[in-house]
Structure 1
Amino acid sequence: MNASAALSHGEPGNTADQDCALSYQSLDWLCTLIAVLDSQGVVRFVNAALENALGQSRRTMEATEFATCFSEPALLDKALSGARSNDFAALRFEAALLRLGQDLLPVHVTVSLVEQQGHVMVEMWPLEQQARQDREERIREQAEANKELIRNLAHEIKNPLGGIRGAAQLLQMDLATPELREYTTVIVHEADRLQVLVDRLLAPHRHPHDVGDVNIHEVCERVRSLVLIEYPQGLKITRDYDISIPEFRGDGVQLIQALLNIVQNAAQALSLRIAQGDAEIILRTRVARQVTLGRQRYRLALELHVIDNGSGVPDAIKERIFYPLVSGRDGGSGLGLTLAQTFVQRHHGLIECDSQPGRTDFRILIPLP
């Protein structure tokens, strides 16, 4: 649905701000960023997608000049001047929006007249949006391929592994000297270690999806307490919660495990800072609006960030950190993030990572009711 079609479902507007908002409220269902201005460029309405993109509320933006939201205000001023003089029906250009505490947001802009209202509509499409959707699709396709590969590989390994362990035990019983029995002990020990690895590979496929009411902050607090028990000194885990986030239907055990894997990875990456006593992990919860996941649009979604002040994900594995058996640390199994992604995808969500030296941000997105 485009903006014009959405407007046909709204109520007739008038000069009152409340009636104006009612007239354009159907635009909140669109993923396009939309601002409705009067002929002087003053904001009369912005939709939820634009609120979310700019990090500003509708109430804050109303009655302000919308051109101030652009890095080059003159571009919009010129378009509005053309609209006032009826030089065009619609004008298109590319610009960049200013966002609070974030980088500029490049957008493609269309400015058009809303004749029945006497207003100007500014529609904006983030240039990064399509690239992000394509990236999400690749992550999901790769995750599905990984799951199938892991499941088949684990089953193929499991059966001969049991035979190897059993044969080593039988051989150990017939060996007379302790020196020779040491070799069979190594075989049994390594077979057991591989069995644990195989069990972890198969774990997501063995356990049913046990759905119930989930409070995400109870999940965060459980994970926080477990990690602080493991790292009692040198690590600070900061809470930054939006307590208005509602409960949702999900598997609490799987979400605890997913978050625990991410936070434990962060803590392990902070080993040097923990030794120095200045390591920090931030657990931040927010509500995201008009989010697209798996090419499906959701009105609301949980946005859970795990942010650490470590050295960052190595460039060599940045694009592969959710692949199985890929690890940035010596001795790591490379399964923690793979399993976390699997558990979150079972909730129709996704995990993303943005990392640079000094700040790594794992973002979990899960649709809300």
Structure 2
Amino acid sequence: MDNYRFILSGGGTGGHIYPAIAIANELKERFPDAEILFVGAKDRMEMEKVPQAGYKIEGLWISGVQRKLTPKNLMFPLKVISSLVRSASILNKFKPHAVIGTGGFASGPLLKVASVKGIPCLIQEQNSYAGITNKLLADKVKKICVAYEGMDKFFPKDKIVKTGNPVRSDLISLSENRDNAMQFFNLDMDKPTLLVLGGSLGARRINELIEDKLSFFKTFGLQLIWQCGKLYYEEYKKYDSEEVKVYPFINRMDFAYTATDMIISRSGAGAVSELSIVGKPVIFIPSPNVAEDHQTKNAKALVAENAAVMIAERDLDTEFEEDFTDLMLTKNRQQELSDNIKRMSLPDATKRIVDEIEKMLGKG
């Protein structure tokens, strides 16, 4: 039987959506006749991104609790009840054989109702510090797929399987040659290249840093591929030149990773997983504005393995130039970071997660 029905739920950010889409693609590969439905939060980015990937999605009226006391918080209990009722209706109608949650608001009510109904549930936690939704669901689900060691401080040990995080399939084996990648960005073959990533929307503090350090980078003979983000492109496109290539968004990340010698990046779970597979020296600048400061915890997990450099935003003015110079001038250190981060990669993550789903279905 491969006409299974699966529901995937996760969203709010790309870090929850893209793993869910990768898992759906692998399920479709193994079970071509399977029906797949996504459940997300209304008005969040999954309502746009999931249909773009070719899947149907239903929306719940749900959002997170605001940290400050706001009128929105007064609506929260009502949203939870509404989402539980709507989840029950979706489950009764679709009758899934398994439900998979990748974190985010919508996965909470859906997996809660599914587990009460006795439907096998699996959650995938991308970060080194578990999100609140997944922590609340831990006792209800059959399996918990994680990307880091030591997750038994959040979840029951007997349910944990270390699989890694799903990443885009075009990055698993970077087959592009450097000549093609350099030509794509119109870069000089003989100059070292720095890739700057602040996420698809951009990161204000990283952009300010790069703007401030353009002449500093020039002293090393560096050329830059700078993804400043859609929100900031109008502000920074004036710096586009022979040595500095400014983009709102890079569609060919395989070319970007092949062309580069060193990377500056945020440390969301998806970025960390991708960069582990890419295996280039990385300086992480975690966003301090995320739940539970999980980006700092993700970066520290790599720093502890001597697999990356991390600089907190508050320390950029005092530490960046020294740390960057040290890394730039020490080839052995670059190689060491490169080797160690690659060792932490788990390129078969999506397949291993779907293996666990198969076991839940009694096929493994």
Q: TM over 0.5: same fold?
A: no
Larger Rg: 1
Q: TM-score, normalised by structure 2?
A: 0.24
Q: Which has the higher strand share?
A: 1
TM-score w.r.t. the length of structure 1 is: 0.24
Higher-RCO chain (CA-CA 8 Å, sequence separation at least 6): 2
